[in-house]
Structure 1
Amino acid sequence: MTNIKVYTTNTCPYCTMVKKFLEDKGLSFKEINVQEDRKTAEKLVETTGEMGVPQTEINGEWVLGFNPDKIIELVN
């Protein structure tokens, strides 16, 4: 089973695009809003070295930004 986590903020248009893309593909995911959870935001930066969102973790692999091709590659 594919484990997908999408790290987002409230005002990020690319976050919305990633979530809509996953929904359109019928892929379930867990959304983690780092704007509302500072501790998780800090851990995310420590883990990936990136401050931007969206960041999508798929089975332990990371996708920065809205990159549908990379998401599909990691899901398959």
Structure 2
Amino acid sequence: LEICKNIENLEIIIDSGCVMGIVTGCDKKCKKHIELKRRLISLIINHKGVVSFIEIKSRSVYGNIQADYLAKRGAYKEFEG
């Protein structure tokens, strides 16, 4: 997963219908953030989840999904690499 070189810390947790995360080090809405969002959405869909919304701002990742079992299946670990 190629992410923005300005990002210092990327931590995303998928659990209990929520996507939460922290992105630090980049304030721009760069294309790699959009790519990150696309990969995250496709990961959730691949694990039979339904994405309500996911937003990646300069400092945070947040969203709602309908797939409470995702974290139990280790989806977020797979996303981290």
- Could you tell me the TM-score, scaled by structure 1's length? 0.36
- Could you tell me the TM-score, scaled by structure 2's length? 0.35
Which structure dedicates a bigger proportion of its chain to strand?
Answer: 2
Which structure dedicates a bigger proportion of its chain to helix?
Answer: 1
